[in-house]
Amino acid sequence: MSKTNILLLPGDGVGPEIMQEATKVINLLNDLELCDITYNSADIGGIAIDNHGNPFPEETAKKCLESDCILLGAVGTKKHENNENNLKPESGLLALRKSLDLYINVRPIFLFNSLIDSSSLKPELLKNLDIVIIRELVGDVYFGEPRGFKGESGNKIGYNTMSYSTNEVKRIAEYAFDLASKRSSKVTSVDKANVLEASQVWRETVEKIKSTNYTDIELSHMYVDNAAMQLVKDPNQFDVILTGNIFGDILSDEASMLTGSIGMLPSASLSSSSGVYEPIHGSAPDIAGKGIVNPIAMILSVAMMFEYSLNNQNVSSIIKESINSVLNSGYRTKDISLSSEYVDTSKMGDAIVQEIKNNV
């Protein structure tokens, strides 16, 4: 069996708590000889500012390059939230994405059937929910130049630049179309082309790629405001949603609520040669240290790592099916519980580990 060397970046807030549960799962899979994973860890975000004066230290960058792929918890702390931009925990995550050119962010939106009542939407809207958001991750207003502050005191101006180039759009659109070819062949590209030049280049490029190389794909375009509305009106009209960095950030948080809780959703950030796997939720400082965070998004991120970086669909399915069984048996963390009864983070992790043992 080939050896895999992964890097753990637990980060801040609830990050270390969910990473702990992810390592329980990985240790078990090693013991069961379903994989041969060794891991190393490093600091990112607020903890890295405290320990190294930098949210993405050199040492972490080096370890990222040396590992086969990366598992990340979350970044963000109250303590550093008023720091200048390059000393905010979030810029550590953005620097990681940029340095590895992780331009593809895959955010699957699916519902475990037993959680259908945990969603705030009517159950009949959610049957067989299965959407994938493909979010461009290293461009857009997140990274556009110029940016900064200007103006005089009393009337400060903060400004950013939204931009997309043909080349940036082309590569993410190709990824989305390739994925759609393996699913229902339906892509909804989301932009704001009625107002923004960046979106006009986006739309033109997506259209061109489709008509040149992907004529079998059923492509439609939707303005982002309408897409936000349609997602809660009739989510099943979507299959693959292709969108830019900022719109994808917002729409994926919205879509997560279709599945019952933001604590349920994993993501993969990919380049042609590396992958970072992390929950879509943040560091949740309000519940950090209380042992109540839902570890499922993190454990599903491990499943995505097996699928995308380790090419091991079998282990990925075992993890997902075990989570499904644990939910079917009634285990709930606080965020997905409909009553005042729930299990803590560690018990949920243990239940999943036990179920994997039963399934293998």
Active site residues: 142, 192, 225, 249, 253
Determine, following the binding rule CB under 6 A, whether residue 263 of this chain makes contact with ligand IPM: no
Which of the ranges 86-94, 180-188, 299-307, 332-340 carries the binding residues for ligand IPM, by CB under 6 A? 86-94
Task: Write the CA distances from 359 to 36, 60, 76, 180, integer angstroms.
Answer: 19, 36, 36, 31
Nearer to ligand IPM, 43 or 249 (CB): 249
Determine, following the binding rule CB under 6 A, whether residue 90 of this chain makes contact with ligand IPM: yes
Nearer to ligand IPM, 74 or 318 (CB): 74
Instruction: Quote the CA–CA distance of 352 and 298 in Å, as a whole number.
Output: 12
Nearer to Mn ion, 266 or 349 (CB): 266
- Give start and end residues of each alpha helix (H) in the chain: 15-31, 46-52, 58-66, 89-99, 123-126, 166-182, 197-213, 224-233, 245-256, 296-308, 313-328, 345-359
Determine, following the binding rule CB under 6 A, whether residue 280 of this chain makes contact with ligand IPM: yes
Determine, following the binding rule CB under 5 A, whether residue 12 of this chain makes contact with Mn ion: no
Determine, following the binding rule CB under 5 A, whether residue 21 of this chain makes contact with Mn ion: no
Q: Which of residues 218-277 bind Mn ion (CB under 5 A)?
A: 249
Instruction: Quote the CA–CA distance of 346 and 269 in Å, as a whole number.
Output: 26
Greatest distance between any 2 Cα atoms in the chain: 66
Instruction: Quote the CA–CA distance of 93 and 160 in Å, as a whole number.
Output: 19
> 159: Cβ–Cβ under 8 A, 6 or more apart, which residues?
146, 147, 148, 149, 150
90 binding partner (options Mn ion, ligand IPM, none; Cβ < 5 to 8 Å by kind): ligand IPM
Determine, following the binding rule CB under 6 A, whether residue 136 of this chain makes contact with ligand IPM: no
Q: Quote the least distance from Cβ 249 to ligand IPM, whole Å.
A: 5
Contact positions toward ligand IPM, by CB under 6 A? Answer: 75-76, 90, 93-94, 249, 280, 282
Contact positions toward Mn ion, by CB under 5 A? Answer: 249
